[in-house]
Amino acid sequence: MIKKAFIPPFLPPKLDYHSIFTNIIKARDIIARYDEAVKRLPNPKIIQRSFETKEAVLSSKIEGTQATLDEVLMFDAQDIKSEKNEKEKDYREIVNYRFAIERGKDFLKEKPLAENIIKDLHKILLNSVRGQNKAPGQFRKTQVYIGPYGCTIEDATFVPPGPQHIVELFSNMEKYIHAEDVIDPLVQIAIAHYQFEAIHPFIDGNGRVGRLLVPLFLYEKEVTAYPNIYISEFLEEHRDVYYELLRNVSEKNEWIPWITFFLDAISKQTKIALERVMKIEKLYKDLKEQMPQINSIYANSFLDAIFAKPTFTARLIKKTSKISNNQTLYTVIDKFSEFKIIKDITPQKERNKIYNFSDLRKIIR
């Protein structure tokens, strides 16, 4: 017997929020402290790339990709463009996710977070060999279902609404995320995240898009100065609970446990991010003090460059460091190696050597 499709009720749900006020305050407090720490950085971009990459790796991992952060950074260094094997296909999906974070911020400068932007983000995410036949940027026109790999619809754990319901449900969700009379933006995005996953508007990539909406929504609402509240690390570590609580909203209308979990994810993951920012800030300041000893007018720009690309080749770091002369670039690389700031991790190679900024890698790992 085919399991009946679930049609989520329109938002907003009727809820008693008293039990989660403490959770909201705790989450808002740690976000405010994190946001101030990021704004205090001499150059906030020194954390941006690393944090985006880690989020992209972990959000994609929830969906089944196997590439690790170290592998992604190595692929970055080699500027891999092909999708010949499964690891390269994983890498392409992760690169797409990272690019979607970057483009999402640009999109929000032009228009609000709504259907067109979400479809554009989906198109970016599915711009790959695996995604090209999954209607990138378009609402699905077929019934889909969720369950263990290879299962039939009869054995599915969840059957989202049929395609004929998507436009109306999505329109209601869109109206909700722009409503002003909501108790708090964190609760608003917790509810919207569930609703997006329940509607499951695309053939593929719904989980990644749904998680991507969290930092973009909070940035649009000016809860943060940058779209950098990432919770995929927490969700990956608690994947079974994450899915169970989403299911319980659908099956038992249990909103409060889901919202509590979401707020907990925000609090704990943002606390970890804050600790990383403080360590990166200290590392940056300590190294900045050494730059006069490097004795190069390019030392500071090269330092900023390796924070953006902690694993690199000379060719890759050239543009980022703004050093146009090759001999000058190699001289700076040699100096940074001499000071043990970076290390050649391919000593066997004569050309296209790969260098590693391990102190930063240890913090973001």
pLDDT tens sequence across 17-58? 899 999 999 999 999 999 999 999 988 888 999 999 999 999
What is the pLDDT, as a whole number, of residue 79? Answer: 87
Overall average pLDDT of the 126-136 stretch: 92
Q: Is residue 2 in some structural domain?
A: no
What is the pLDDT, as a whole number, of residue 1? Answer: 47
Task: Give the closest residue to 120 by CA, choosing from 104, 134, 105, 137.
Answer: 137
Q: Is residue 84 in some structural domain?
A: yes
Whole domain around residue 168: which residue ranges? 23-275
Residues 161, 27, single domain; the answer is: yes
Residues 188, 312, single domain; the answer is: no
Query: Looking at per-residue confidence, does 2 or 194 come out higher?
Result: 194
Q: Is residue 18 in some structural domain?
A: no
Overall average pLDDT of the 193-201 stretch: 98
What single letter denotes the amino acid at residue 200? H
Average of per-residue pLDDT values in the chain: 94
User: Cα separation of 50 and 357, whole Å?
Assistant: 12
pLDDT tens digits, 219-259: 999 999 999 999 999 999 999 999 999 999 999 999 999 99
Residues 229, 350, single domain; the answer is: no
Residues 6 or more apart whose CB falls under 8 angstroms from that of 350 comprise none
CATH number reported for the structural domain that contains residue 355 in this entry: 1.10.10.10
Q: Nearest 5°: phi and psi at 114? A: -145, -170
What is the pLDDT, as a whole number, of residue 304? Answer: 95
Overall average pLDDT of the 142-164 stretch: 90
User: Cα separation of 91 and 80, whole Å?
Assistant: 9
Q: Is residue 302 in some structural domain?
A: yes
Residues 109, 148, single domain; the answer is: yes
CATH number reported for the structural domain that contains residue 100 in this entry: 1.10.3290.10
Overall average pLDDT of the 199-221 stretch: 96
Residues 65, 132, single domain; the answer is: yes
Residues 271, 325, single domain; the answer is: no
Residues 215, 170, single domain; the answer is: yes
Compute, in degrees rounded to 10, the torsion defined by CA atoms 5, 9, 10, 13: -150
The confidence band for 68, taking pLDDT boundaries of 50, 70 and 90, is very high
Report the number of distinct structural domains present in the chain: 2
Q: Is residue 233 in some structural domain?
A: yes
Q: Is 6 helix (H, G, I), strand (E, B) or coil?
A: coil
Please check whether residue 291 is in contact with residue 303, taking contact to mean a CB–CB distance below 8 angstroms: yes
Q: Tokens at residue 204, please? A: 């593929």
Residues 60, 146, single domain; the answer is: yes
pLDDT tens digits, 52-64: 999 999 999 999 8
Q: Is residue 33 in some structural domain?
A: yes
Q: Is residue 15 in some structural domain?
A: no
Overall average pLDDT of the 261-285 stretch: 97
Residues 111, 213, single domain; the answer is: yes
What is the pLDDT, as a whole number, of residue 365? Answer: 82
Residues 178, 220, single domain; the answer is: yes
What is the pLDDT, as a whole number, of residue 4? Answer: 86
Handedness of CA 20, 21, 23, 28 (dihedral sign): positive
What is the pLDDT, as a whole number, of residue 2? Answer: 54
Q: Which helix (H) or strand (E) holds 311?
A: strand 311-312
pLDDT tens digits, 100-124: 999 999 999 999 999 999 999 999 9
Q: Of 275, 305, 321, which residue is a domain's last? A: 275
Residues 310, 176, single domain; the answer is: no
Q: Is the pLDDT of residue 138 over 60?
A: yes
Residues 333, 263, single domain; the answer is: no
What is the pLDDT, as a whole number, of residue 148? Answer: 83
pTM for this entry? 0.94
Report the percent of the chain where pLDDT is more than 70: 99
Q: Is the pLDDT of residue 156 over 90?
A: no
Which residue in the block uniquely carries the two structure tokens 């008293």?
A: 18
Q: Is residue 9 in some structural domain?
A: no
Overall average pLDDT of the 57-82 stretch: 92
